[in-house]
Every structure is written in structure tokens, then in C-alpha cells.
Amino acid sequence: MNYANGEAESGGTTSWENTSYNINLESGNIGIGYTNSEDEGGDSASVIYGRYLFSDFMGVENASASINVGIAEADSVANDQTLVKFRVNYTF
């Protein structure tokens, strides 16, 4: 879990402020998570996602790959978005 709150100042006044948090649960090769972000005007965006991790990807000991699927929703857009990611990692 994590939480962040930040603001930017310009000329002594706050130009924006944002709050976000993230919750992840992982067990073995499966993970799920939720992310939410909201600005000072009340606009918010959120994503809920799932992940499956393939260890020793393509037979390489220090390589892994993950498939991520999620749904994103934001106040400023009319339609929800579906996301799909494929990520390959190698640990040196």
C-alpha cells in the first residue's frame, strides 16, 4: 500500500494539488491492485487490475514476464478504458 499527496507552488500560490493511493495484493504468480488519484477540483481517476507472472520466461533463469489486464475510469472522460500490458523483466 502507498499514499501520496503533493502540490506545486508558483509565485507563492498553489497551482495544483493531487492525492493518490495504491493497494496491491500478491500471492505467488497472481496479483491484483487498485489505484486512485484525485485532484483539488474533485476530478478523480481509478484503475483496478490483475497480473499473472511467468517466472524463468523462455527458459532464462533471471527473466520474467507478466500479463496485466485492467479497467480504468476517470471523471474527465466519457468511456471507461480497458488496458492490457505485457512486460518482460530481466534481473542482472
How confident is the model at residue 8, as a pLDDT? 79
Strand arrangement of the beta sheet that strand 2-10 belongs to: 2-10, 13-27, 30-39, 44-55, 63-74, 81-90
Q: Which residue has the higher pLDDT, 20 or 42?
A: 20
Asked if 88 contacts 52 with a C-beta cutoff of 8 angstroms, the reply is no
Q: What is the pLDDT of residues 39-57, one digit of tens each?
A: 887 889 999 999 999 988 8
Average pLDDT, the chain: 89
pTM of the model: 0.72
Q: Which residue has the higher pLDDT, 40 or 66?
A: 66
